[in-house]
């Protein structure tokens, strides 16, 4: 299927035949056959036909361009970009090649290069409105909303009846909080094409924001009538119905989502909340149980289920769930308060007081901080609110909405811990790292990105020893060792504080910066889990559908600065580049992440995890050829998940 962003592709391709009367007959024949193959979506055949032509005429820049179009539609973006570049080198004023190379850069997230190519295309052909439309998409994806609006304005002046232009401009305006202008654009999109569900969903969202619930529901209902499998429409109508005092209607919509996608954790989670609100606790528990099964690492699931068990008088189960929430994130003040109340009703006064005191200490500590950390002190924060379709708990297992795109789920960051799998770790020869591990005070240290396998009592024993060592002599190494044990106990706030003190005592040790960066990242990840909003796009690509997320992003600037300092001190350490790549991925800088993973592999050619993560990003960006090559290499090096992913994606293709 040709992508929506290049909806003019067929006309463009057919236009290539114009002005070729001077060409040899067989040359025209090859072009004609290749064009017909592309129009009929037989892209591989088109590439074969054009290969014959290009072997005979290596300077056929329009043949290179046409082959690039075919490769683009096969998601071979690297190959497409290479052909467009060769065409430009032969003909530096070939506007279409600049345009399509820019679109290719947009698909891979390389927005700076995309904008340069769009600018070049506009310089050559300033009257081509399609270039402005495509550049508007790239500017939006690069969060340059005001500039994107200018491009969509120009396009609309030239082509006032294209629905996508109004929807895209409206979404840019929504991102700039201009809801009135956004509403006007969505309204216009519906006026132009009343059979496109997108306009109704977007307009309904704004109506819901304005508390015009009935009108919003009418729009979502119309979108569903036009597309009975549109999950976003069902989700949006469910949330609006719940806010309009129609819980049964909300349950009906969420049940419809589950009937379409039985593994959709987000729908189960929302339905559990609505069931709880109407007193149907058994069904609510059943939904929470399903979500806990699908997302066992998500703290909100256990926190909410604990509150429901508490309400039902199932105190043992409530205590267990609060304890699980605390195990997942020991700095979660609300979970301590909840468990304190439960233990009080269980007549465990000592445990209740201890939890209440712990919560108080954590709240006081967080209130002294600024930014997202301060939010954990808000003990009145509602954690049982319904989550909209564009919600993301920070746990990709929660995103089981079906999509043709690959979710970018990378393996975790590496950090120094004490573990029971020392003998099994892969060898990476780095003298500075080996010296650091051998000289540490905990003994048995290793660098790993796997969950720690060690008895909790043993971890507490090590922590007690590290604390005693600090009291005897407060050295950088001793403080760092205590930071490691606190990190292993998931006491991230304390761990970060200790790592920073170790850095102050010894600012030249790169591994102190590394550990501090990883602990800070994990703390931010948890906070984002509470209310992060991230669009889930169904059956779409970045060029087909603009995100509607209006939520915050989370600042990974501090951990990135820390890991950069570590690299400055140890520029030959592959693990540091791997962690830098992981942090860039969290920031959404996929191009930078690929570069950092590549550097890690250059330093350590056997770095299986780096191949896997780089391959995952490439697959997510639709560079399937390179992505599958990286996954294959990761599998060869021992990452079992790699072959499983290759099998799943190959079947899907």
- What is the CATH T-level fold of the domain 4-187, as seen in this structure? 1.25.40
Say how far apart CA 73 and CA 78 lie, in whole Å: 12
Is residue 199 within 8 Å of 168, Cβ to Cβ? Answer: no
- CATH, range 261-398: 1.25.40.10
Q: Output the average pLDDT for the chain.
A: 80
Angle at alpha carbon of residue 103, lines to 102 and 104, rounded to 5°: 90
Residue 473 zone, left/alpha/beta (φ > 0; ψ -120 to 50; rest): beta
Say how far apart CA 201 and CA 232 lie, in whole Å: 8
Say how far apart CA 576 and CA 608 lie, in whole Å: 15
Predicted local confidence at residue 507, as pLDDT: 95
Instruction: Evaluate if residue 22 carries a pLDDT over 50.
Output: no
Residues of the chain with CATH 1.25.40.10: 4-187, 261-398, 415-652
Is residue 527 within 8 Å of 554, Cβ to Cβ? Answer: yes
Say how far apart CA 584 and CA 571 lie, in whole Å: 17
Instruction: Evaluate if residue 317 carries a pLDDT over 90.
Output: yes
Averaged pLDDT, 487-509: 90
> Within its chain, how far is the Cα of 597 from the centroid?
17
Averaged pLDDT, 380-402: 46
Task: Give residue-wise pLDDT tens across range 136-179.
Answer: 988 988 889 999 999 999 999 999 998 899 999 999 999 898 99
Averaged pLDDT, 63-81: 84
468 secondary structure, DSSP code: H
Predicted local confidence at residue 502, as pLDDT: 93
Name the residue with higher pLDDT: 616 or 369.
616
Say how far apart CA 176 and CA 190 lie, in whole Å: 22
Query: Torsion angle of alpha carbons 518, 519, 524, 527, nearest 10°?
Result: 140
Q: Where is average pLDDT lowest: 22-26, 249-253, 599-603?
A: 22-26
Averaged pLDDT, 612-631: 84
Averaged pLDDT, 454-469: 84
Task: Give residue-wise pLDDT tens across range 177-199.
Answer: 899 999 999 999 999 999 989 99
Given the structure tokens 């520029």, which residue do they identify? Answer: 571
Assign domain 415-652 one CATH number from 3.40.50.620, 3.20.20.70, 1.25.40.10, 2.40.160.10. 1.25.40.10
Predicted local confidence at residue 538, as pLDDT: 25
* Helix (H) and strand (E) counts in the chain: 32, 2
């Amino acid at each position: 299927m040709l992508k929506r962003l290049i909806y003019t592709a067929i006309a463009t391709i057919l236009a290539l035949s114009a002005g070729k009367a001077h060409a040899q007959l067989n040359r025209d024949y090859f072009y004609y056959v290749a064009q017909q193959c592309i129009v009929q979506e037989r892209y591989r055949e088109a590439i074969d036909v054009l290969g014959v032509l290009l072997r005979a005429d290596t300077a056929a820049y329009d043949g290179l361009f046409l082959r690039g179009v075919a490769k683009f539609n096969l998601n071979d973006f690297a190959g497409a970009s290479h052909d467009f570049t060769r065409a430009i080198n032969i003909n530096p004023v070939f506007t279409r090649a600049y345009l399509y190379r820019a679109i290719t850069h947009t698909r891979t997230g390389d927005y700076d290069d995309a904008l340069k190519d769009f600018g070049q295309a506009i310089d050559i052909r300033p009257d081509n409105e399609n270039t402005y439309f495509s550049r508007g998409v790239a500017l939006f994806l690069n969060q340059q909303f005001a500039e994107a609006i200018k491009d969509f304005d120009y396009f609309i002046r030239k082509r006032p009846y294209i629905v996508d232009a109004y929807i895209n401009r409206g979404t840019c305006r929504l991102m700039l909080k201009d809801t009135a202008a956004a509403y006007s654009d969505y309204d216009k999109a519906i006026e132009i094409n009343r059979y496109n569900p997108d306009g109704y969903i977007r307009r309904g969202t704004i109506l819901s924001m304005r508390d015009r619930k009935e009108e919003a529901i009418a729009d979502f209902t119309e979108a569903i009538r036009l597309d009975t499998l549109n999950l976003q429409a069902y989700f949006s109508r469910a949330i609006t119905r719940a806010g309009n005092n129609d819980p049964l209607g909300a349950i009906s919509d969420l049940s419809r989502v589950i009937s379409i996608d039985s593994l959709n954790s987000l729908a189960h989670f929302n339905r559990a909340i609505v069931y709880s609100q109407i007193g149907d606790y058994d069904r609510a528990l059943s939904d929470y149980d399903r979500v806990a099964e699908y997302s066992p690492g998500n703290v909100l699931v256990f926190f909410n289920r604990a509150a429901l068990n508490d309400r039902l008088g199932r105190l043992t189960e409530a205590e267990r769930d609060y304890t699980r929430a605390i195990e997942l994130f020991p700095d979660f003040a609300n979970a301590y308060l909840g468990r304190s109340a439960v233990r009080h009703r269980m007549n465990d006064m000592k445990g209740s007081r201890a939890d209440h005191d712990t919560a108080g200490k954590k709240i006081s500590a967080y209130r002294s901080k600024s930014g997202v950390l301060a939010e954990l002190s808000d003990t009145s924060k509602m954690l049982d609110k319904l989550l909209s379709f564009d919600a993301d708990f920070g746990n990709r297992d929660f995103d089981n909405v079906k999509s043709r795109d690959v979710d970018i789920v990378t393996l975790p960051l590496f950090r120094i811990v004490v573990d029971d799998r020392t003998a099994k770790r892969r060898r990476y020869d780095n003298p500075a790292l080996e010296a650091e591990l051998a000289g540490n005070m905990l003994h048995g240290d290793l660098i790993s990105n796997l969950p720690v396998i060690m008895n909790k009592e043993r971890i507490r024993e090590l922590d007690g020893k590290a604390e005693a060592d600090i009291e005897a002599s407060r050295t950088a190494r001793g403080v760092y060792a205590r930071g490691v044990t606190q990190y292993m106990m998931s006491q991230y706030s304390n761990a970060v504080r200790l790592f920073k003190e170790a850095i102050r005592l010894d600012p030249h040790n790169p591994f102190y910066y590394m550990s501090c960066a990883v602990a800070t990242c994990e703390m931010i990840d948890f906070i984002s889990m509470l209310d992060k909003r991230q669009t889930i796009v169904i059956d779409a690509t970045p060029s087909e559908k603009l995100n509607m997320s209006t939520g915050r992003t989370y600042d990974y600037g501090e951990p990135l600065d820390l890991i950069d300092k570590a690299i400055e001190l140890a520029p030959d350490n592959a693990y540091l580049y791997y962690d830098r790549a992981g942090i860039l991925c969290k920031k959404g800088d996929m191009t930078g992440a690929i570069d950092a993973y590549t550097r890690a592999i250059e330093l350590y050619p056997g770095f299986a995890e780096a191949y896997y993560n780089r391959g995952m990003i490439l697959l997510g960006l639709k560079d399937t050829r390179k992505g599958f090559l990286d996954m294959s290499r990761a599998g060869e090096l021992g990452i079992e998940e790699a072959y499983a992913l290759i099998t799943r994606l190959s079947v899907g293709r």
